[in-house]
Chains A and B, each alone.
Chain A
Amino acid sequence: MIALLVLLCLILLVIVVIQIGRISEVAGMIRGEEDIERDSNYWNSRLGLVFMVLFLLASVGSAIYYKNYMLGYGPHEAASIHGLAMDQLFNMTLFFTGIVFIITQIILFWFAYKYRGVKGQRALHISHDNKLEVIWTAIPAVVMAILVVFGLNTWNEIMQDIDPDGDHIEIEMTAYQFGWIARYPGADGVFGARDYQQITGRNPLGQVWEDPANHDDMHTNEIVLPVNRQVKFRLTARDVLHSFFLPHFRVKMDCVPGTPTFFVFTPTKTTEEYRRELSKYAEYQVREDPNDPTSPMLWETFNYELACAELCGTGHFSMRMIVRVVEEAEYKAWLENQSSYYLTSIRNTDFDPFKGMEIEIDELSEASEGGDEEEETDLSDYDELEAEAEGSGSLSEVNTNID
């Protein structure tokens, strides 16, 4: 039925188009080709001008219209130190390219209009002009040089590793189809050894439990960062390429199986501060569900988000994790509430090489020293994480490979 309808429309289109073509051809024969050509020059050159004006107005106008959604503008100033430098570089590039864009588009359509063919007119025979050409090679060269210098400066600053004496935290992120596992190093500040051969549903990172550094490492289902403190994300992937993308912090780095990567930055705005900033803009003073007057405002529900930016399979679009930036004190409190994955899920199970033995673990948290009950809840925490990864895509096919 639909196929028939589509076919009918197509046939109609063909007939109409051919008829229009025919009519224009006949008109051409009656009026003479030259007449038609001059007419066409007249109208199309003018159309070009109209197009140019509308195009430039629309491009500037639409940019202003969408300004408060775009990162770098309005409420979306970068929430990291290097992000501000990046936004500056972006705007500098926008400035130069914007000028070139407007001028060249105007010249293009203006020349086309001005020099449209009219009766009895002869074109000029100008084949080149060395001076002019040197000038317009030099100008872009200089502009590019400026952009390269500023760009590489910024790039080098962003790509610095941490200052070894500085006060920073480290988090390890492991991407898999289709989700993230965040690991905090615990009290010793050291990530325990991993061996991908030991990955199982129970041991999703392949942590080597013989390594005591693993015993206090924590898996969390959100990323919590203290504001104004440098953080180094160690990135890796378990199966295919993924990319660690934090749009509001201007952070992106691929997660590569077998090749560790990292990204260092300093968040400068807490989630609360970002929300307050958003609340000043009309775009975010609307209900989350416009039909439900009791639903929260958009700015109230804002969260920093982690997304995957490298195609990794069918669930690529669903690899979300929430990032919370909080005050130092709140961070500490949160951290103390987290418990070591070893203690909650491995300790004294068959997977534990130290089963039944006494070992010493320097734990940050009080909570996890509890008994079996605690372990149970934390285990289910992990299941939840898993379920979230599964559910968020509203996909049946998303396979998480955990368990």
Chain B
Amino acid sequence: MAQTQVAVQDVTDQLIEKYGYDDHFHDHHDGDKYQSNFITHYVFSMDHKMIAKQFLITGMFWAFIGGLLSLVFRLQLGFPAEDMAWLKPFFGKWIVLNDAGVGTLSPEFYYAMVTMHGTILVFFVLTAGLSGTFSNLLIPLQIGARDMASPFLNMLSYWFFFLAGAVLFFSLFLSTGAFSGGWVAYPPLSALPQAASGSGAGMTLWLLSLTLFVVSVLLGGINYVSTILNMRTKGLSMWRLPLTIWAFLVTAIIGLLSFPVLVSGFLLLFFDRSVGTSFYLSEIYIGGQALDHVGGSPILYQHLFWFLGHPEVYIIILPAMGIVSEVLAIHSRKPIFGYKAMVFSILAIGFLSFLVWAHHMFVSGINPYMAMIFVLFTLIIAVPSAVKVFNWLATLYGGSIRFNSANLFAIGFVSMFISGGLTGIFLGNSAIDIQLHDTYFVVAHFHIVMGVAAFFGLFAGVYHWFPKMYGRFMNEFLGKVHFWFTLIGAYLIFWPMHYLGIAGVPRRYYSFDNFESFAHFGGMNQFITIAAVLVFIVQLIFVINFFYSIWYGRKVKVKNPWGATTLEWTTPIKPGHGNWPGKIPTIHRWSYDYSKDGRDFISQIEPLSEEEKKTAHH
């Protein structure tokens, strides 16, 4: 085994030497200006691999914070009668003590926690942490480029993300509290400081933070798109790209087209807040005062927000889909089934994601006739989603599946995506959505299909590419423990929420005691909270495993430990700047030649055999 691996490794080097092309990258030996000292290597790094790690670890930090916040508000929902005074040392005045010294979360605080949790998870963790990490890591490595088109913009992209995070983090400590109007920030609630204490300084910082974040996404996106389109190595036509790259490409394009619209929406909101314009405000009486604003429409904001907001959910899930496609194929030792259909599904989803935004607004007061178009497109988008699921299932068929942590999470992703995608079909039908909108059914839907599924994609990617990032493996046993408890736990948390939703229980309720109709579920809410705490603790296993393995994990001894066909595994075990020490490899075949012609896998850099040339269609 080891013997053959060494042989394979030699073949890789020989192939690169023989067929690769020399871009004279290493000719100038004036020291590596990219990683010459600590600051340029670890902090203001321009190396895409280091930036990927920065995105990942920052994302993990935010996942920890965001998860912790969710536990705080889950405690309120699960144990509303319990004494929370013990949280006072951490949260101060937001824990209100009554005369008997029994503490409760204040509602402002509850809503701020919910809002911050949503904002952090959607943007900082699942957008930046997922797409930022893997686009940066994989795009140059899998297309045979030395680095991104603009390493400098790439570095800026990370630091704008960092700044966005710093601003939001700071807003958590404001005396008026962080923004508390929900992650969608609908005006007038978000526009009027009189409407909620979090809508004051908290909202200003929220807007600033997200605007910085959009700058980060745009800088990254421009880079990803131009790198993929222009810097593929010789022979790597679009139809030979691994699905990861297709997914990152479409993700970046969607981001470039939709995030600016969000910013324009934010800009108008900013004007309404500070210059007295009335884009979103009309006929408002608040705080004992009638405001001057007339003629604006709060619904306009919702259009602008969801024009990003819906594509955003695909910005989150597409990279996960790409990762899962890659991981499933490699560890099943099979080509991804229906490669072209997969690509067209990604393109179709990307395109259609711009035509469905108003399905979040069926009962917001839009014209019912307009809703009809959005029902149509929303249910059409389920078709390419279904095609992808069938293709993943067919990829498993006839495979020789390895059950390592990466692949387990990929399989778990498919399970989650099925469960959550199907509930989307209920919501996409406007007539049903009248009832389900803004209930826990929606919470269940998007946590399963987006939250958990995207996390699974992230985990699959981390377990799979950790050897490429750090030259070591993560611990498999701990990885599997992590997987099974997370899979079961995630369903335990979110599955019961469907029932809450069908029973009509609205989301974003601080307490259910005021309504007879919603008060039956104390037991269930307790159950969900306990499950959430346990799942959070299980994630710590991952964190420990991650950091322990960086320094003490089992060492990777061969270049291509998974037996994968793609280019990143032709680099040295710990690639330096420029990724390949000599020539850049060239490509001779698509990325999924697994179990072909009696061979376990055939690397993309291996030329077609005479036989293959005769029958080739890739």
Contact A196 B285 (CB under 8 A): yes
Report if A51-B488 is in contact (Cβ < 8 Å); known contacts: A112-B401, A148-B375. yes
9-residue interface stretch from A210-218, A313-321, A327-335, A363-371: A313-321
Report if A117-B514 is in contact (Cβ < 8 Å); known contacts: A97-B426, A123-B332, A311-B182. no
Q: Specify the chain B residue showing the minimal Cβ separation from A126.
A: B398
| Chain B residues whose CB sits within 8 angstroms of the CB of A17 once the complex forms | 478, 540-541, 544-545, 548
CB distance from B241 to the nearest CB of A (A): 15
Q: Which of chain B's residues 277-326 have a Cβ closer than 8 Å to chain A?
A: 281-288, 290, 294-299
Report if A40-B480 is in contact (Cβ < 8 Å); known contacts: A177-B286, A312-B189. yes
| Chain B residues whose CB sits within 8 angstroms of the CB of A241 once the complex forms | 186, 188-189, 298
Interface check A159, CB cutoff 8 A: yes
Q: Interface size bucket, B side?
A: 35 or more
Contact A240 B438 (CB under 8 A): no
| Chain A residues whose CB sits within 8 angstroms of the CB of B481 once the complex forms | 20
Residue from B332, B340, B411, B544 within 8 A of A18 (CB atoms): B544
Report if A105-B418 is in contact (Cβ < 8 Å); known contacts: A44-B480, A247-B517. yes
9-residue interface stretch from B16-24, B136-144, B158-166, B589-597: B589-597
| Chain B residues whose CB sits within 8 angstroms of the CB of A302 once the complex forms | 516
With A and B bound together, what is the CA distance between A62 and B492 in angstroms? 11
Contact B363 A253 (CB under 8 A): yes
Contact B393 A111 (CB under 8 A): yes
| Chain B residues whose CB sits within 8 angstroms of the CB of A133 once the complex forms | 338, 341, 387, 390-391
Residue from A122, A298, A399 within 8 A of B595 (CB atoms): A122
Interface check A206, CB cutoff 8 A: yes
CB distance from B578 to the nearest CB of A (A): 31
| Chain B residues whose CB sits within 8 angstroms of the CB of A392 once the complex forms | 514
Residue from A14, A89, A118, A177 within 8 A of B429 (CB atoms): A89
| Chain B residues whose CB sits within 8 angstroms of the CB of A105 once the complex forms | 415, 418-419
Interface check A256, CB cutoff 8 A: yes
CB distance from A41 to the nearest CB of B (A): 5
CB distance from B562 to the nearest CB of A (A): 11
Residue-wise interface mask of A (137-155) relative to B, using a CB-CB cutoff of 8 A (1 in contact, 0 not): 1001100100110011011
| Chain B residues whose CB sits within 8 angstroms of the CB of A94 once the complex forms | 426
With A and B bound together, what is the CA distance between A148 and B382 in angstroms? 12
With A and B bound together, what is the CA distance between A141 and B384 in angstroms? 9
Q: Which of chain B's residues 396-440 have a Cβ closer than 8 Å to chain A?
A: 396-404, 408, 411, 414-415, 418-419, 422-423, 425-426, 429-432, 434-435, 437-439
Q: Specify the chain A residue showing the minimal Cβ separation from B397.
A: A111
Interface check A359, CB cutoff 8 A: no
Contact A238 B286 (CB under 8 A): yes
Interface check B487, CB cutoff 8 A: yes
The binding surface of chain A is classed by DSSP as helix
Report if A151-B537 is in contact (Cβ < 8 Å); known contacts: A70-B503, A140-B386, A309-B506. no
Contact B107 A314 (CB under 8 A): yes
CB distance from B409 to the nearest CB of A (A): 12
Interface check A294, CB cutoff 8 A: no
Interface check A401, CB cutoff 8 A: yes
Interface check A303, CB cutoff 8 A: yes
Contact A127 B297 (CB under 8 A): no
Residue-wise interface mask of A (242-266) relative to B, using a CB-CB cutoff of 8 A (1 in contact, 0 not): 0101011011111011110100000
Residue from A43, A108, A196 within 8 A of B396 (CB atoms): A108
Interface check A72, CB cutoff 8 A: yes
Interface check A291, CB cutoff 8 A: no
With A and B bound together, what is the CA distance between A96 and B496 in angstroms? 20
Contact B548 A40 (CB under 8 A): no
With A and B bound together, what is the CA distance between A25 and B473 in angstroms? 11
CB distance from A365 to the nearest CB of B (A): 28
Interface check B509, CB cutoff 8 A: yes
With A and B bound together, what is the CA distance between A104 and B396 in angstroms? 12
Contact A124 B398 (CB under 8 A): yes
Count of chain A residues with a beta carbon within 8 Å of a chain B beta carbon: 130
With A and B bound together, what is the CA distance between A161 and B145 in angstroms? 61
9-residue interface stretch from B125-133, B210-218, B364-372, B579-587: B364-372
Report if A2-B89 is in contact (Cβ < 8 Å); known contacts: A97-B422, A303-B516, A401-B286. yes
Contact B182 A62 (CB under 8 A): no
Contact A89 B432 (CB under 8 A): yes
| Chain B residues whose CB sits within 8 angstroms of the CB of A156 once the complex forms | 368, 372
| Chain B residues whose CB sits within 8 angstroms of the CB of A197 once the complex forms | 290
Contact B376 A148 (CB under 8 A): yes
CB distance from B602 to the nearest CB of A (A): 10
With A and B bound together, what is the CA distance between A40 and B352 in angstroms? 41
CB distance from A370 to the nearest CB of B (A): 31
Report if A137-B299 is in contact (Cβ < 8 Å); known contacts: A14-B544, A128-B339, A305-B517. no
CB distance from A327 to the nearest CB of B (A): 22
Contact A104 B514 (CB under 8 A): no
With A and B bound together, what is the CA distance between A317 and B387 in angstroms? 40
Interface check A295, CB cutoff 8 A: no
With A and B bound together, what is the CA distance between A105 and B416 in angstroms? 10
Interface check B100, CB cutoff 8 A: no
Q: Which of chain A's residues 354-403 have a Cβ closer than 8 Å to chain B?
A: 392-393, 395, 397, 399, 401
CB distance from A105 to the nearest CB of B (A): 6
Chain A CB within 10 Å — which of B391, B475, B592, B597 has the most? B475
Interface check A57, CB cutoff 8 A: no
With A and B bound together, what is the CA distance between A10 and B304 in angstroms? 44
Q: Specify the chain B residue showing the minimal Cβ separation from A141.
A: B383
Q: Which of chain A's residues 195-244 have a Cβ closer than 8 Å to chain B?
A: 196-199, 201, 206, 238-241, 243
Q: Which of chain A's residues 61-112 have a Cβ closer than 8 Å to chain B?
A: 62-63, 66, 69-72, 85-86, 89-90, 93-94, 96-97, 100-101, 104-105, 107-109, 111-112
Interface check B491, CB cutoff 8 A: yes
Residue from A89, A116, A298 within 8 A of B401 (CB atoms): A116
| Chain B residues whose CB sits within 8 angstroms of the CB of A41 once the complex forms | 401-403
With A and B bound together, what is the CA distance between A102 and B281 in angstroms? 47
Contact B368 A258 (CB under 8 A): no
Chain B CB within 10 Å — which of A43, A123, A137, A238 has the most? A123
What are 5 A-B contacts with C-beta separation under 8 Å?
A: A115-B397, A199-B290, A309-B438, A313-B196, A317-B510
Sorted nearest first, the 6 A-B pairs with minimum C-beta distance are A258-B282, A247-B504, A24-B477, A124-B398, A44-B403, A159-B368
Given contacts A21-B545, A44-B408, A238-B285, 18 further A-B contacts (CB under 8 A): A34-B1, A40-B404, A66-B499, A93-B429, A108-B396, A109-B415, A132-B394, A137-B383, A151-B432, A196-B290, A239-B195, A240-B192, A240-B286, A253-B363, A257-B284, A307-B517, A311-B508, A317-B506
Show the binding face of A for B, using Cβ within 8 Å: 2-3, 10, 13-14, 17-18, 20-21, 24-25, 28, 34, 36-37, 40-41, 43-45, 47-48, 51, 55, 58-59, 62-63, 66, 69-72, 85-86, 89-90, 93-94, 96-97, 100-101, 104-105, 107-109, 111-112, 115-118, 121-129, 132-133, 136-137, 140-141, 144, 147-148, 151-152, 154-156, 158-159, 176-177, 196-199, 201, 206, 238-241, 243, 245, 247-248, 250-254, 256-259, 261, 283, 298, 301-303, 305, 307-318, 320, 392-393, 395, 397, 399, 401
Show the binding face of B for A, using Cβ within 8 Å: 1, 86, 89, 106-108, 111, 180-182, 186-189, 192, 195-196, 281-288, 290, 294-299, 332-341, 363-365, 368, 371-372, 375-376, 379-380, 382-383, 386-387, 389-391, 393-394, 396-404, 408, 411, 414-415, 418-419, 422-423, 425-426, 429-432, 434-435, 437-439, 475-478, 480-481, 484, 487-488, 491, 495-496, 499, 502-504, 506, 508-512, 514-518, 520-521, 537, 540-541, 544-545, 548, 554, 592, 594-598, 600
